[in-house]
Homo-oligomer: A and B are copies of this chain.
Amino acid sequence: MSARTKYAVGVDIGGSNIKIGMVSQGGKIIYKHSIKTEPGEGPQKVIENINTGIHAVLNNTKVHIDGIGIGCPGTVDPEKGTVENPPNLHGWRKVNLSRTISMEFEKDVFLENDANAAAVGELIFGNGKKINSFILVTLGTGVGGGIVINRKLYRGEFGAAGEVGHITINYNGPQCKCGSYGCIEAYAGNQYLKERVRNELKNHPNSLLLKLIGYDFSLISPRKIQEAADKGDEFANFVIVDLGTKLGAAFASLSNVLDVSTYIIGGGVAGFGKPLFDSIKKSLTSRVMAPLKPRVKILSAKLKNDAGVKGASALVFHGY
């Protein structure tokens, strides 16, 4: 470990586990640790667990760190260092996470919501390294987003920017768990997608997907859909292409407003790979304003495993 290499601790707060890693400036995790979140025990206990985890990583590496980066669900105010109403963490309302952790370790703490941290991860370590402006979209249970403009995270007035999942594609569409209707998340979120496939499978009795799940609808998953599509199943392929068409419609609104036309796609559903990316590109290119059409680019996220920890540590190297 050269004296010149810089290090940062990255903390990824999930609903089940907190993952903590010591990450080098080059994006290598030299040590990592995982600890239960215990979200039901309230903020005090979760913070205790975060501290325990960070201490474990520091004690096992003994390197000087430039700071601690934290990616957290919920509405984050990065300047004040507060987290508000994180879903899956109970009894939080508004907690000043930065100050508490900063006092424990006497280090600068950089806090962002998890999608923003993922965007900074791609910017510093991933496929955004050479791209000035892009939108990171994570396709998972929800559809999250982080906006990078001229190599800076775009946070909005109060740090709540980048809610890509809640772009409406049909104002009369199905209700989304945010309360609105026809948000892209209400089509592309994992649960919504599975439910739709479950309903439509009934009309496709010959789909290979049925065999792959052993006719057990609870086993429908992005991975199974992808497997069926890879084997040439028409219905599974339609599901993926249709998903891309809808994502492209949401991204067109975004690109027309932001004048940004590069998307980096991560998360589980991004596993659909080339067929999904091709479909997004086709839909987005056909819908976006003329000057933007030639600039549309759909890339896959480079950070896969440990994207959360790496993204969180990238916040430190990125600075404010």
Contacts and interface: CB of A to CB of B under 8 A. Distances in A.
Contacts of A259: 155-162
Given A167-B257, A253-B253, A160 B287 contact: no
Interface in A210-259: 245-246, 249-250, 252-254, 256-259
Contacts of A257: 145, 147, 161-164, 167, 254, 257-258
A138 interface: no
A246 B169 contact: no
B286 A180 contact: yes
A119 B73 CA distance: 34
Interface string A124-145: 0000000011000000000001
A166 B145 CA distance: 20
Which among A158, A171, A250, A290 has the highest number of chain B CB atoms within 10 Å? Answer: A171
B180 A157 contact: no
Nearest to A145: B257
Residue among A159, A161, A286 with max Cβ neighbours from chain B (10 Å): A161
Range for the number of chain A residues in contact with chain B = 35 or more
A249 B180 CA distance: 9
B167 A170 contact: no
Contacts of A85: 290
B289 A252 contact: no
A252 B179 CA distance: 12
A75 interface: yes
Contacts of A160: 259, 289, 291-292
A181 B169 CA distance: 11
Given A132-B157, A149-B157, 5 more contacts: A160-B259, A160-B289, A167-B256, A171-B245, A178-B289
26 contacts: A85-B290, A132-B157, A133-B157, A145-B257, A147-B257, A149-B156, A149-B157, A156-B259, A157-B260, A158-B291, A158-B295, A159-B259, A160-B289, A161-B259, A166-B256, A166-B289, A167-B257, A168-B249, A169-B170, A169-B171, A170-B170, A170-B171, A170-B172, A171-B245, A171-B246, A257-B257
Interface of A: 75, 84-85, 132-133, 145, 147, 149-150, 155-164, 166-172, 178-182, 245-246, 249-250, 252-254, 256-261, 286-292, 295
